[in-house]
Amino acid sequence: MLQSALDFDASETKDCFDRDGYLRVDSLFGAAKMAEINAELDRYIAQHVPGMSRSEVYYEDINDDTSIKQLMNMHDHDSYFDDLLRNSVIRTMAETALGEEVKGVNVEYFNKPPGIGKATPAHQDGYFFHIKPSKAVTGWLALEDVDHENGCIHYVRGSHKADGFRTHARSNVLGFSQGMTDFGTDDDKENTVAFPCGAGTFLMHDSKTIHWAGKNRSKTRSRRAVGFIYFAKSVEIDKEARAAYQAKLDQDLMADNKI
Ligand SMILES: O=C(O)CCC(=O)C(=O)O
């Protein structure tokens, strides 16, 4: 575990990432920068969310506009988050982990509102990405303290090394349309590592690393985080498959009155 971005040693970081399929940096950003990011997120929500399409903002309770659970493509709507994706130490971490140049493809807000925030089902991000080969990473920045009560991230150490993806099927959790159907083997359990962490902690995982998060059991605390997705420059994106998948998903969610 790195104590801060200042401890950053590229070859050590890559070795850890290749071994475990994830990395953790405590205090990637200091308190002042975290206050700035939190304030920018609040501004983003006030400025952009009211006019946003239903496929880019998900609510835990569709009748309660204070219950935002996920925002997608934040970099497309706002230069602050675009800059964070493209020009910050987060990009450097992604390039180090993947060992090549990357392109930033998404910034997402992940919240679990108090009392109602659902668990994140076990999944592998690459299953959703439609890229070949599956060379991609997701960074995850805690915007506030996160623990077992409000739903911390869990990774299955070494799970990125298996060939292909595990079996996924439609989940009922908005924002995570596919969950693993065979999660919970002895190997999964033995290698699961929980990541309770303080605000400013940064996690990054491989697109094949199995991960999940608990539900928010707190009646008063949210669980706010921002995700940053990068693809290796060398990958091929199946744009048609991605667009078809997203269109079908939007259609299904609207039919189910979830968005
Ligand atoms: O924040 C969460 O609960 C899940 C995040 C996640 O699945 C991801 O960053 O890939």
21-74: per-residue pLDDT in tens?
Answer: 999 999 999 999 999 999 999 999 999 999 898 888 999 998 999 999 999 999
CA of 48 to the centre of ligand 1 (A): 22
125: CB partners within 8 A, 6+ apart: 136, 138, 205, 207, 209, 229
The residue contributing the CA closest to ligand 1 atom 1 is 110
Contact 22, 205 (CB under 8 A): yes
Q: What digits encode the pLDDT tens for the residues 209-225?
A: 999 999 999 999 999 99
**Ligand 1 mutation target, pool 85, 110, 147, most atoms within 8 A of CB:** 110
Cα–ligand 1 centroid distance for 194 (angstroms): 13
Residue 7: which pLDDT band, with cuts at 50, 70 and 90? Answer: low
**Domain residue spans of the chain:** 5-255
What fold does the segment set 5-255 form as a domain? Jelly Rolls (2.60.120)
Is there an atom of ligand 1 within 6 Å of 108 CB? no
116, 106, 230, 6: CA torsion to nearest 10: -70
86-118 pLDDT, tens digit per residue, is 999 999 999 999 999 999 999 999 999 999 999
**What is the model's pTM?**
0.92
